[in-house]
């Protein structure tokens, strides 16, 4: 059996090596390292893929979130609601801009932001909601957009984990993740579903004015050379990363399908296991059906319900099976984001999930033998054999 890796980027590289090597060699010859033709071409190709009017490339996903919030003109003291169960980048940029983060609980089945908790958290100071499409599946955007409309709030989608996923609206509409709210942010960190070979990110929007504002913000607040109209940042995608992304974008749907195939095999093997809860897909799909494109499985995350999660992590390690606990600490309990405003009784789900979740190896290169070994090792251990 091949060595099992949590993330395997080499297989993808081998299959597109010639194209990537020649694009990079060309960039080195032409010295168009920053804002070159590769970046512009990638921007256009991603706009087309997503069906969105504007893609603004930037340096990483954390910047993308920050710049989106700057572009919307959020001001110190404005309250921004986001999920308690996510990667820290989401809440970090809210705090960094001196906005007030308001963390709320998530849904037990989908790990995504809990709509009722969002509604309870809305105050006259609330200005935005940041749903995170965690592990590759959209939050309930119908409900979030309805709440935003009712209370006149902005919606900023953190799409770092769900690029390529579809959201199926209750009205029969089908839109790509990250293009539904007022603005979307994504990351091209190497281990993300569409990853480059360093850092990268992008902001998406259908709003022409917002796109214009953001294009200035990423470039030192410059709309005309050496005229700085607003305080901006320096956040650029470089040409080499854009060339890698251009080679991978046409393959993204097949990468997502390879992940779903692995997810289906995992879930089939765990079927009927009493102490193991497999990921739930929603959006009118119900299961990981053959044509389902609502979940792109950035992570395949189980819940171990009999208290053996931590010992399972150690056991998998002893068997050379990498795994991850995303995320081990709720954000409201992190030193940087703890606040006396929070009441433990408001976070029953996050507090439970951090003890139960375990993410198994997930990438495009997993084979049947590896998946059999992983699932059998998990099942035997969890059942106490
Ligand atoms: C990866 C990630 C980010 C940050 O992206 P970087 O490119 O690493 O800055 C933000 N939010 C979520 C949910 C992520 O998974």
pLDDT band at 289 (very low <50, low <70, confident <90, very high): low
Residue given tokens 């389902």 in the structure block: 292
Query: Is the distance from the beta carbon of residue 87 to the nearest atom of ligand 1 less than 6 Å?
Result: yes
- Residue 208: predicted pLDDT: 98
Alpha helices in 279-324, H assignment, sequence order: 309-318
- Residue 171: predicted pLDDT: 87
Which residue's C-alpha comes closest to atom 14 of ligand 1? 160
Going from N- to C-terminal start, the domains of the chain cover 9-104+111-250, 252-382
Lowest mean pLDDT, pick from 66-70, 172-176, 195-199, 280-284:
280-284
226 pLDDT more than 80:
yes
When the pLDDT of each residue in the chain is averaged and rounded to a whole number, the result is 95
Distance CA 124, CA 186 (A): 29
Which residue's C-alpha comes closest to atom 5 of ligand 1? 61
- Tell which CATH architecture fits domain 252-382: Alpha-Beta Complex (3.90)
- Tell which CATH architecture fits domain 9-104+111-250: 3-Layer(aba) Sandwich (3.40)
- Residue 278: predicted pLDDT: 94
What confidence tens digit (pLDDT) does each residue in 258-268 have? 999 999 999 99
In the chain, what percentage of residues exceed pLDDT 70?
97
- Find the 61 Cα to ligand 1 centroid distance in Å: 5
What confidence tens digit (pLDDT) does each residue in 58-114 have? 999 999 999 999 999 999 999 999 999 999 999 999 999 999 999 999 999 999 999
Rg (CA), the chain: 21
- Residue 150: predicted pLDDT: 98
Which residue's C-alpha comes closest to atom 7 of ligand 1? 61
pLDDT band at 291 (very low <50, low <70, confident <90, very high): low
The SS3 call for residue 38 is helix
Domain 9-104+111-250 and domain 252-382, same fold? Reply is: no
Q: What are the structure tokens assigned to 287, written together?
A: 């299961």
């Amino acid at each position: 059996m091949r060595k099992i890796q949590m993330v395997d980027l080499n297989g993808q590289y081998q299959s597109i090596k010639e194209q990537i090597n020649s694009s990079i060699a060309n960039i080195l010859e032409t010295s168009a390292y920053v804002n070159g033709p590769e970046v512009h071409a990638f921007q256009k190709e991603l706009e087309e893929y997503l069906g969105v009017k504007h893609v603004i490339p930037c340096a990483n996903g954390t910047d993308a979130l920050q710049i989106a919030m700057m572009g919307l003109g959020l001001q110190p003291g404005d309250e921004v609601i986001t999920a308690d169960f996510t990667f820290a980048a989401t809440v970090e940029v809210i705090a960094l801009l001196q906005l007030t983060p308001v963390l709320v609980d998530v849904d037990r089945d989908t790990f995504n932001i809990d709509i009722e908790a969002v509604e309870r958290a809305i105050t006259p100071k609330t200005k935005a909601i940041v749903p995170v499409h965690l592990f590759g599946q959209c939050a309930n955007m119908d409900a979030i957009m309805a709440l935003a409309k009712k209370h006149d709030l902005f919606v900023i989608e953190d799409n770092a984990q769900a690029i390529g996923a579809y959201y199926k609206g209750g009205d029969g509409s089908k839109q790509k993740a990250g293009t539904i709210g007022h603005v979307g942010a994504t990351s091209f960190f190497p281990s993300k579903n569409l990853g480059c070979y360093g850092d990268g990110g992008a902001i998406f929007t259908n709003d022409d004015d917002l796109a214009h504002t953001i294009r200035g913000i990423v470039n030192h607040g410059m709309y005309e050379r050496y005229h700085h109209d607003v305080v901006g940042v320096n956040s650029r995608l470089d040409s080499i990363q854009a060339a890698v992304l251009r080679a991978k974008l046409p393959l993204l749907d097949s990468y997502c399908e390879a992940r779903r195939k692995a997810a289906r095999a995992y879930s089939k093997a765990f079927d009927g296991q009493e102490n193991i809860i497999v990921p739930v897909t929603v959006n009118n799909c119900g299961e990981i059906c053959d044509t389902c494109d609502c979940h792109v499985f950035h992570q395949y995350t189980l819940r171990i319900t009999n208290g053996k999660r931590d010992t399972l992590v150690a056991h998998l390690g002893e068997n050379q099976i990498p795994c991850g606990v995303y995320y081990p600490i709720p954000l409201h309990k992190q030193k940087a984001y703890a606040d006396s405003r929070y009441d433990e009784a408001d976070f029953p789900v996050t507090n439970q999930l951090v003890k139960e979740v375990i993410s198994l190896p997930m990438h495009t290169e997993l084979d049947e033998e590896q998946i059999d070994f992983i699932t059998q090792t998990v099942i035997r251990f969890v059942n106490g054999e």
